[in-house]
Structure 1
Amino acid sequence: MHLLDDEGRVIVLRGASVGEDAKFAANYGSAVRAPELRRMRDELGMNAVRMLTFWEAVEPSCGDYDDGYIARFVERVREARRLGLEVVVDFHQDLFGAGFGMAGAPHWAAPDDFYRRARRRRPWMAGYLELGVMRAFDHFWRSEELKARYAAAVGRVVSELAREGVCFYELWNEPFWGTGTPYSLEREVLPSFYERVTAAVFAADPGTRVGLAGAVHTNIGMSTALAVRDRSRAVY
């Protein structure tokens, strides 16, 4: 199966992930704007960008959306689309979120004690070995309330982007299994989680696609146990 455009032609994406700097910016903004995107297109031959957004930026307080941030992010997507670039919107996380020194889930999505007990490690990805980080993921995956809040936040962003022609929405970057195993996460947690978030996306933008990722171990070529019931508009 392939990505197809409105005329049924195969889409081959050649691009890069942009907005790494947004993880650490005070307003979650990126310095990659229209001039940089134009050079990526004209000088590097790219036709797509993956734009990072973060739950903590969208919903800094439980139930309180930052409409200013959402509007700024939508404008960044529009800049890319005006240049003819395909856009993949990535709902991003690293090390769960800002409480552990990176970006992703808002601080309120895990108990304070988890943050206090976690040390900052180098390289940063070694932080996944911290028990506080593991427990934060456990807490999220087990909480129906938090997963519902996340799906609602994703739907809120998608509702503002529904007319912008986003190629697809990546629902969660690099899912981590906490104190469980990658295969238990893929078999027992991710299918229902993805169904919930997919429903929120399609309610806001019925014609779009969703990007589904296996657990983060698949980044190094290991196999996945992830299975989803409806793959008709899913990208893996």
Structure 2
Amino acid sequence: MKSLAAWRTWAVGAVVLAVAAALLVAVGPEGAGAGRADTASGHRWITDRQGRALVLRGLSTASSAKEAPDGMPWIEEKDVERERRALGTNFVRFLLQWRKVEPSPGTYDTAYLRQVAERVRWYGERGYHVLLDMHQDLYGPGVGGNGAPKWATRTDGLTSAATDPWELGYAEPGTVRAFDRFWGTVEGDGRDLRAHYAKAWRAVAEHFADDDTVIGYDLMNEPWGGSVQGPAFESGPLARLYQDCIDAIRTVDRGHWLFVEPSAIGANWGFATGLPRLEDPRGDGDEARIAYAPHLYPLPMDLGGGYTGDAKGQVDATLRAWREQTEKTARRLGAPVVIGEFGIDVGLPGAMEYVEKVQRMADDMGAGIAYWSNDPGPWAPWDAGMKPTRLLPVLDRPSPRAIAGDPVTFRWDAADKALTVSWRGRAGMRGDTEIHLPARHFPEGGRVEGGEKRSWDPKSRILTLRSGPGAHSVRITPRA
């Protein structure tokens, strides 16, 4: 989670690094094009076990898990049900902690994994897809952060003081050394912490390999290179760790998607990344299941106080650059895209306009979204008293959920209250196309033009459309 106050100070020291890193990337920028690339021109989609393209919309759950002794988020099953009813989401990015997965070297906490599995079940019974995210900020509790266990934290006697804002802690000597020891970029300490990390992921994947609710694994939240930054970090230590994790997971789980993130500094702001293509033991091309999950936190907005005034134009420029670089990287990786995090304090000027703009951009890109986060408070759809904030109706918007074929385009026109969806059906495709129609926009369900309705479930708010080979294009408006 990135607060305005936090980033203001942090950005001053980090922006020079981000610019330098971007300029050093060997592959220069290339145009992203005016519209979303469809499947025929190389765009990839995350698919379910039926082969349907998934449009993932949901929240990250939850920051509260970072410091909780048991590593669990604040939610109970009733909160998952509330989220489904209020937002109609179909996706959750669920935070894990390495400290809980592997509390001592080579020992994996199956009780913790069973607690995670229980919460995955809560989501699965309500039709969600769950992305398990190995989260870290400031490396781990041994240096004042969250994520890594203390036994895997080596600082060589260097200390890390608490900072305000907290992100400045990344520059504390002990934190930098802990990362350097993890990445193996300093001499000494023969332990291979990266091998432990990959084996921890193997333990997680072995536990969830047969769980259809789990869509995949986010290998590391917002990687930080310590004293090594930019392309040298992303194409070196980070890529090697990702490949080790991919290879380890594939020994026990051949089916789930594997999500990779770039270094947050720079990529979050629309700069290029040096992350190279990774190999999936499943095979190349359509056989590979590697997804790209960058985060989006425009620096001009954090510095300018919201989506307004001069900052608005700067944010728009950042969004264009972010999209260009994200699509460029996705092509290099051969990967579909999920915006692993984006969010804003709902009280900032222009906040809701910004959130809607990002959602439209995601629609145009064919990208999934995990909004940060579901923790009650000023960034969430509900406040500390669980009353809806003004964000909730902005996130609660019509969208396809699963498309039985190759998506071409989909767009929600709030002014006309019309959702258009186009796709190309393929022979042998199983399942139907599913559309979510919120009650606030479609109280009596939807009227379908240009397609055949198979069913309408007013409880789940899911409209099912018959699919088949050939071109499909439907326009859905509220039923009178």
Alignment TM-score, normalising by the size of structure 1: 0.94
More off after superposition, 166-175 vs 75-84: 75-84
Counterpart of 1:219?
268
Task: State how far apart, in whole Å, the 1-side matches of 2:163 and 2:149 are.
Answer: 20
Q: Which amino acid aligns with 1:233?
A: R
More off after superposition, 157-166 vs 47-56: 157-166
Q: How many residues align?
A: 235
| Matched position secondary structure for 2:45 | coil
Instruction: Choose from 92, 117, 129 the match for 2:135.
Output: 92
> Contact 2:155 / 2:175 at 8 angstroms: preserved in 1?
no
Instruction: Choose from 182, 185, 202 the match for 2:230.
Output: 182
Counterpart of 1:42?
85
Task: State how far apart, in whole Å, the 2-side matches of 1:40 and 1:204 are.
Answer: 32
Shift of residue 230, structure 1, vs aligned partner: 2.7
> Contact 2:91 / 2:128 at 8 angstroms: preserved in 1?
yes
Tell me, yes or no, if structure 1 residue 20 matches structure 2 residue 63. yes
Residue identity over aligned pairs, in percent, reads 37
Q: How does 1:24-173 map to 2 (within 5 A)?
A: 24-111=67-154, 113-114=156-157, 117-142=159-184, 145-165=192-212, 166-173=214-221
Max Rg structure: 2
Shift of residue 113, structure 1, vs aligned partner: 4.1
Counterpart of 1:201?
249
Q: Which amino acid aligns with 2:199?
A: A
Task: State how far apart, in whole Å, the 2-side matches of 1:20 and 1:35 are.
Answer: 18
| Matched position secondary structure for 1:167 | strand
Q: 1:229 to 1:117 in 2, by over 3 A?
A: closer
Instruction: Choose from 291, 295, 301 the match for 1:235.
Output: 291
| Unpaired stretches in structure 1, ≥5 consecutive residues | none
> Contact 1:81 / 1:164 at 8 angstroms: preserved in 2?
no
Counterpart of 2:51?
8
| Unpaired stretches in structure 2, ≥5 consecutive residues | 1-43, 185-189, 281-287, 293-480
Shift >3 Å, 4+ stretches: none
Q: 1:150 to 1:99 in 2, by over 3 A?
A: same
| Matched position secondary structure for 2:181 | helix
Shift of residue 44, structure 1, vs aligned partner: 1.0
Task: State how far apart, in whole Å, the 2-side matches of 1:36 and 1:189 are.
Answer: 39
Shift of residue 112, structure 1, vs aligned partner: 5.2
More off after superposition, 50-59 vs 75-84: 75-84
**Where is the helix percentage greater, Structure 1 or Structure 2?**
1
| Matched position secondary structure for 1:88 | strand
> Contact 2:143 / 2:175 at 8 angstroms: preserved in 1?
yes
Q: 1:144 to 1:215 in 2, by over 3 A?
A: farther
Q: Which amino acid aligns with 2:276?
A: A
Task: State how far apart, in whole Å, the 2-side matches of 1:189 and 1:79 are.
Answer: 36
Alignment TM-score, normalising by the size of structure 2: 0.47
Shift of residue 111, structure 1, vs aligned partner: 2.1
Cα deviation digits, residues 162-217 of structure 1 (max 9, x gap): 12121110001111010111211111112221111011212221111100111112
Shift of residue 131, structure 1, vs aligned partner: 1.6
> Contact 1:202 / 1:208 at 8 angstroms: preserved in 2?
no
| Matched position secondary structure for 1:220 | coil
